[in-house]
């Protein structure tokens, strides 16, 4: 498969086909020139920074255009403007951008240095030496200790644990925080920690070359004349963390950039917004138009010189006797400089200021501040803000992004009674979030203080020794593969491969059935203060087909029992017929639990006959050692014994979502944003979370599962899904371009006949991403409302994002919290990092960061939409005012002999963009908003125009140019006609060039200011001050520059002496200004009025609602907890892998002996076991769950608890 060969870093001609290395032989390994262990995520170094950064900046065509313009302005024969008017703002823009990029890259260098300078013990010259990570080489043997990061990709040689096992956490690689087990080869395990033996080890490894596959490794070890196969179970990957293992030794196979973690990291790219890319195209068009107009005007000058120029040569002789052609040539370049204001450098200065201001709004937003972790939102880049208002696809990680990595034992059903809800004295059920006091577990010295439960009736049933309740929790304490660790007396820590298992065992622990320890053939638990040891006779292990696990145990009294837990549909098929009534009641409870998005399990048991079990055990042993069809024989035996079970009840576990995730996804869906979840987790887990967070819904017509194990299977499943969603479009040529001999550059949006979801596994996705099938996959996925990709590698995440970018004209956003999300974050147009439990790698690679997924809706629907709206308004208005300003020169050229004379005073030309119109448009671009944030949330459809580029596009730009052309004609012809043959009140002539220039520029300023007022939706005191202040500034500066005093100081610079006071005191001048302003804005007002009346946009409708409300609307009513009424139950709450039962019973999984311990419960008689007083009268009240902010120090039991187990204080 082509995917398996895909690498993050391109290979050279001498691509490595096989890796060969020898342990403890640096000279031999150096001959292959393998990479060192140093990593580099920065973009520049000291020598390449300036040239590379400037090269990136001059990719912006406008910067290159201004550089050319600067060169032209240095030539005195053609320049009528000083060179510093261009060089100063250009250098300013380049300097600010360079400083920002330098700061970002310095941070990357610091991060690299922190990693590269970490210390690890390396075996060199028969001694362990502390070396920096970056000095590690392939073939070195290194020693890792508990809680250390794995330095490089290693072959595990030996460890401190029995049978050379190690426990690792892979959160940085695949987002999973469940502990995984690796085991060394017995031949290397015998080396132990004997330095001499390790130093003498000279094994040779031949293995696959560096690649990005996290789930596969193929190689062989040759040692002492024998060959040993190597697979992924013997490899420790860089990015993992060693847990619960005192020490281990490993042989470096891949180092630095060749490690699988780095092979999965995408390269940093220079991100530009779609508006930036559009601006590049528009600037090219404007430049082409500029060349065309300058050519026309130069030709006009040539014709005029031939026809009329000779009449003036008597008193205006040509320099050096130049001919008409040379005059036209100089005129061409003169007009290039004069007309350059169509794209002034101030445009880009203003754009950077606007982006910086909108970035500060994100940084300062208190509603995106997470007080619990003291984490504010941060705009880590200032150049992408408006892109946040155009997002069409969101690619999200699951673990740590949508969820908190916390499993909560939420509710249960025991013998037909449901526990977990809280009722008041009237029998009314309350939402537990409205209550304050949880169950007090102080009666149990071994209880986990972080476990919270609110239904007091369950603990009362335990204290009253209800037999069904006791059996229920006894089953939870015995039927599992959890490992217990007790470093101090009474301090129990559980290590579970699945957080679900950990939550169930912890629940049993708190209700008085405490799992203490296990051996290969026994399980010791505390039952209500009494220690009891059960003989473990068999574990019938979990797999994806069985969807259940069972244990067969013998109690201290000699009673033989089978205890089973699993998916309710599977358990129900195996129940005794006497359980039918209990099944009906339990099913109702299961439906209720599933409606709340909880993950359910059914519990059952049966007592076994000794003789029958003896025979069954014998047959089980024979099947276990069978070489033919072993799995099938074992399955048949399991089916035989797991029948006629007696139902006990069901558990409901909440895979704790982050606050507000379902509401956020619902809001984003209303804004027509499609959310794809890309996770390394199992399909069952990801699907459950999809339902919990409203990504998948029961109302959907269908949810397609793509799980084929061959290209043909995957292709057929995709096509079947397409046929279901669009039966009438199966012959679409876009679907099978390879068959039609066509290449496809873009896939258009299509609408399915209904709502659908898609779930695809990692192995199927590998086929789907191949070039021959990627269009099938993309079209199928885009027809669905929600897409979930399970068991995906970090690089696959990036490939999915790149696929959408390649074939969809849409803006993408990727959000994640771990190192496994970095490549996806870098690949998307916008990368968002969540500062969560999996480190800061995602944040360091992101463009924006915050603490909770729910802040994404505010980032997009409020800040993103406002930023996009403001930027589009700014660009439309900026082009309008500058086109209008510049086009007047073109009309004037026909009246001045095409002499490149300017219409306006040179001072006005200099200050027009710098002073007179700069602040008003900046005020609009920083403060304007069509509606406030509350209305934005109530009407998420306001976001859709941004996705469709309705506010600024080539069409909008063309409209702006036409409007400017009309306005410039009005601004030239009305003042020209008004002053033609006109005299002052005293009879003196008014129609001179200086009076015309003053009148035209005054009309221009009023016209563009009124147009700005029409564009503005939200007037503030600052906006009003900027607008009125700029007009006042214009008159103040004009009267000052045209005064006698300035003329006397520098006569050549201020020739317009007295023009202002002589012209602006005439009534006909002010009438002309009024008439011109009205004629300029009249078409705009008419067009907008008709548009709102005949074809109102979503913005017009919402703004009309706002005006009707005449006040800020009240906050929306508090949302009730979303409850699904369907009967769909999350199929199975386990997320652990097959095969753990074998490890448990073999003893290979076991820790070293724990400390000796007492029961931990008060040593009292049976009747006074410390469980009194009983009943609700004993100080209990039916109160409920507190809000997180009210109980900051209490965390519920789940994976977070398990992670703290192995991190003892230093």
Which tokens belong to 419?
Answer: 């526990």
- Sign (positive/negative) of CA torsion 391, 397, 398, 402? negative
Q: Is 1058 helix (H, G, I), strand (E, B) or coil?
A: coil
Q: Is 1017 helix (H, G, I), strand (E, B) or coil?
A: coil
Number of helices and strands (H, E) in the chain?
43, 35
How far, in Å, CA of 639 to CA of 574, rounded?
A: 9
| Sheet arrangement for strand 165-169 | 179-183, 165-169, 241-243
Spatial contact of 300 and 898, defined as CB atoms under 8 Å apart: yes
| Whether 628 is catalytic | no
Q: 786 to each of 696, 697, 756, 837, how far by Cα in Å? A: 7, 9, 7, 26
How far, in Å, CA of 105 to CA of 116, rounded?
A: 16
How far, in Å, CA of 311 to CA of 303, rounded?
A: 14
Which tokens belong to 1170?
Answer: 């410390």
Residues contacting residue 1123 through CB under 8 Å, at least 6 positions apart: 595, 596
Q: Hey, how many other C-beta atoms are within 10 angstroms of the C-beta on 113?
A: 13
How far, in Å, CA of 144 to CA of 151, rounded?
A: 8
Nearest partner of 404 among 1204, 1202, 1200, judged by Cα: 1200
Helix 865-893 with 993-1015: angle, nearest 10 deg = 160
Helix 918-927 with 993-1015: angle, nearest 10 deg = 0
- Among the listed residues 174, 397, 541, 776, the single catalytic one is 397
State residue 592 phi and psi, 5-degree precision. Answer: -65, -45
Q: Is 1164 helix (H, G, I), strand (E, B) or coil?
A: coil
How far, in Å, CA of 602 to CA of 417, rounded?
A: 14
Which tokens belong to 783?
Answer: 């027809």
Would you call 1183 exposed, middle or buried from its count of C-beta atoms within 10 A (0-12, 13-18, 19+)? middle
Could you identify the residue written with the tokens 């008409």?
A: 324
Q: Is 352 helix (H, G, I), strand (E, B) or coil?
A: helix
Question: Where does residue 170 fall: left (phi above 0), alpha (psi -120 to 50 degrees), or beta otherwise?
Answer: alpha
How far, in Å, CA of 1022 to CA of 1193, rounded?
A: 44
Spatial contact of 1131 and 956, defined as CB atoms under 8 Å apart: no
Classify each residue of 909-935 as buried b or exposed e, where b means 16 or more C-beta atoms within 10 Å of its C-beta.
Answer: bebbbeebbbbbbbbbbbbbbbbebeb
- DSSP letter at 1131 equals S
How far, in Å, CA of 563 to CA of 1024, rounded?
A: 76
Catalytic machinery residues: 397
């Amino acid at each position: 498969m082509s995917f398996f060969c895909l690498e993050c870093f391109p290979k050279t001609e001498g691509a490595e086909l096989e890796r060969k290395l020898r342990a403890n032989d640096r000279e031999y390994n150096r001959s292959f020139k393998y990479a060192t262990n140093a990593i580099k995520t920065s973009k520049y170094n000291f020598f390449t920074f300036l040239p590379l950064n400037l090269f990136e900046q001059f990719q912006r065509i406008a910067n290159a255009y201004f550089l050319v313009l600067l060169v032209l302005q240095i030539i005195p024969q053609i320049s009528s403007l000083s060179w510093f008017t261009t060089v100063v703002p250009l250098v300013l823009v380049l300097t600010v951008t360079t400083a920002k990029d330098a700061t970002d890259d310095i941070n990357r260098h610091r991060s690299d240095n922190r990693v590269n300078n970490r210390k690890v013990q390396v075996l060199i010259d028969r001694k362990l030496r502390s070396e920096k990570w970056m000095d590690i080489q392939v073939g070195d043997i290194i020693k890792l200790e508990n809680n250390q990061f794995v330095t490089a990709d290693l072959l595990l040689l030996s460890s401190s644990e029995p049978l050379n096992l190690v426990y690792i956490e892979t959160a940085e690689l695949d987002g999973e925080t469940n502990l995984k087990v690796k085991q060394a080869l017995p031949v290397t395990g015998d080396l132990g920690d004997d330095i001499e033996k390790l130093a003498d080890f000279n094994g040779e490894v031949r293995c696959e070359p560096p690649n990005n596959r996290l789930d596969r490794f193929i190689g062989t070890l040759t040692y002492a004349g024998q060959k040993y196969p190597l697979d992924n179970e013997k490899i420790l990957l860089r990015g993992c963390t060693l847990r619960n293992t005192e020490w281990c030794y490993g042989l470096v196979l891949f180092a630095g950039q060749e490690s699988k973690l780095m092979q999965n990291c995408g390269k940093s790219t220079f991100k530009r917004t779609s508006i930036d890319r559009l601006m590049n195209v528009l600037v090219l068009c404007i430049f082409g138009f500029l060349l065309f107009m300058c050519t026309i005007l130069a030709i006009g000058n040539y014709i005029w010189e031939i026809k009329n120029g000779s009449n003036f040569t008597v008193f205006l002789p040509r320099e050096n006797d130049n001919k008409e052609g040379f005059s036209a040539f100089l005129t061409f370049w003169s007009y290039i400089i004069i007309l350059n204001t169509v794209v002034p450098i101030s445009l880009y200065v203003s754009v950077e200021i606007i982006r910086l201001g909108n970035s500060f709004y994100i940084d300062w937003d208190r509603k995106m501040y997470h007080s619990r972790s003291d984490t504010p939102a941060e705009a880590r880049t200032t150049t992408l803000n408006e892109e946040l208002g155009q997002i069409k696809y969101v690619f999200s990680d699951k673990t740590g992004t949508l969820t908190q990595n916390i499993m909560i034992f939420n509710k249960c059903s025991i013998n037909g009674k449901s526990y977990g809800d809280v009722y008041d004295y009237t029998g009314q059920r309350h939402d537990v979030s409205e209550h304050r006091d949880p169950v007090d577990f102080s009666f149990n010295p071994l209880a986990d203080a972080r476990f919270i439960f609110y239904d007091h009736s369950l603990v009362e049933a335990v204290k009253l020794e209800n037999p069904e309740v006791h059996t229920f929790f006894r089953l939870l304490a015995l039927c599992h593969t959890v490992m217990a660790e007790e470093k101090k007396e009474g301090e129990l820590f559980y290590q579970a491969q699945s957080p679900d298992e950990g939550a169930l065992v912890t629940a049993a622990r708190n209700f008085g059935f405490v799992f203490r320890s296990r051996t290969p053939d026994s399980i010791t638990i505390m039952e209500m203060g009494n220690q009891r040891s059960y003989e473990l006779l068999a574990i019938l292990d979990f797999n994806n087909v069985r969807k259940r696990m069972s244990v067969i145990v013998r109690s201290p009294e000699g009673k033989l029992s089978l205890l089973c837990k699993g998916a309710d549909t599977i358990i129900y098929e195996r129940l005794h017929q006497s359980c039918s009534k209990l099944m009906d009641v339990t099913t109702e409870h299961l439906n209720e639990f599933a409606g709340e998005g909880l993950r359910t399990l059914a519990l059952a048991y049966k007592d076994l006959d000794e003789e029958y079990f003896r025979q069954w055990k014998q047959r089980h042993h024979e099947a276990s050692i069978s070489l033919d069809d072993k799995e099938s024989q074992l399955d048949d035996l399991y089916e035989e014994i797991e029948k006629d079970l007696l139902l006990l009840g069901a558990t409901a576990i909440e895979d704790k979502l982050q606050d507000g995730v379902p509401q956020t996804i619902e809001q984003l869906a209303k804004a027509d944003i499609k959310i794809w979840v890309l996770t390394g987790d199992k399909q069952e887990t990801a699907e459950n979370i999809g339902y919990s967070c409203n990504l998948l819904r029961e109302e959907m017509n269908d949810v397609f599962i793509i799980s084929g194990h061959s290209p043909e299977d995957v292709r057929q499943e995709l096509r079947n899904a397409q046929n279901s969603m669009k039966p009438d479009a199966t012959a679409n040529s876009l679907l099978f371009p390879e068959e039609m001999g066509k290449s496809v550059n873009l896939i258009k949006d299509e609408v399915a006949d209904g709502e659908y979801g898609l779930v695809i596994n990692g192995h199927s996705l590998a086929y789907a991403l191949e070039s021959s099938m990627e269009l099938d996959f993309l079209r199928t996925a885009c027809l669905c409302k929600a897409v979930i990709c399970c068991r995906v590698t970090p690089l696959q995440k990036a490939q999915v994002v790149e696929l959408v970018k390649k074939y969809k004209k849409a803006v993408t956003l990727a959000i994640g919290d771990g190192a496994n999300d970095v490549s996806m974050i870098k690949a998307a147009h916008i990368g968002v990092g969540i500062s969560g439990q999996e480190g800061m790698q995602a944040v360091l690679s992101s463009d924006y960061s915050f603490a909770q997924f729910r802040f994404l809706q505010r980032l997009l629907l409020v800040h993103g939409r406002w930023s996009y709206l403001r930027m589009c308004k700014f660009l439309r208005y900026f082009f309008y005012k500058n086109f209008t300003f510049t086009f007047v020169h073109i009309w004037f050229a026909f009246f001045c002999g095409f002499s490149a004379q300017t219409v306006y005073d040179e001072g006005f030309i200099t200050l027009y963009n710098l002073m007179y119109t700069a602040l008003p448009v900046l005020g609009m671009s920083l403060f304007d908003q069509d509606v406030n944030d509350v209305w934005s949330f109530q009407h998420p459809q306001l976001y859709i125009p941004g996705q469709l580029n309705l506010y600024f596009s080539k069409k909008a730009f063309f409209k702006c140019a036409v409007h400017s052309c009309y306005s410039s004609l009005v601004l030239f012809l009305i003042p020209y006609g008004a002053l033609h043959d006109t005299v002052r009140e005293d009879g003196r002539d008014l129609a001179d060039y200086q009076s015309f220039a003053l009148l035209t520029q005054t009309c221009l300023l009023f016209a563009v200011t009124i147009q700005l007022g029409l564009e503005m939706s939200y007037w503030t005191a600052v906006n009003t001050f900027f607008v009125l202040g700029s007009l006042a500034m214009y008159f103040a500066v004009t009267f000052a520059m045209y005064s006698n005093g300035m003329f006397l100081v520098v006569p050549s610079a201020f020739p317009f002496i007295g023009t202002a006071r002589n012209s602006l005191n005439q009534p006909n001048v002010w009438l002309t200004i009024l008439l011109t302003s009205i004629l300029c804005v009249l078409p705009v007002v008419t067009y907008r009025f008709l548009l709102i009346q005949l074809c109102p946009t979503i913005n017009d409708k919402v703004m009309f609602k706002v005006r009707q409300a005449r006040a800020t609307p009240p906050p929306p009513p508090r949302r009730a907890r979303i409850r699904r009424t369907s009967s769909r139950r999350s199929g199975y709450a386990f997320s652990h892998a097959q095969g753990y039962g074998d490890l448990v019973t073999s003893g290979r999984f076991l820790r070293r002996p724990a400390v000796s311990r007492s029961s931990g419960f008060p040593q009292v008689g049976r009747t006074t076991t410390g469980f009194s007083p009983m009943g609700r009268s004993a100080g209990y009240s039916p109160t409920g769950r507190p809000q997180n902010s009210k109980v900051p120090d209490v965390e519920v039991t789940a994976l977070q608890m398990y992670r703290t187990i192995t991190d003892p204080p230093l």
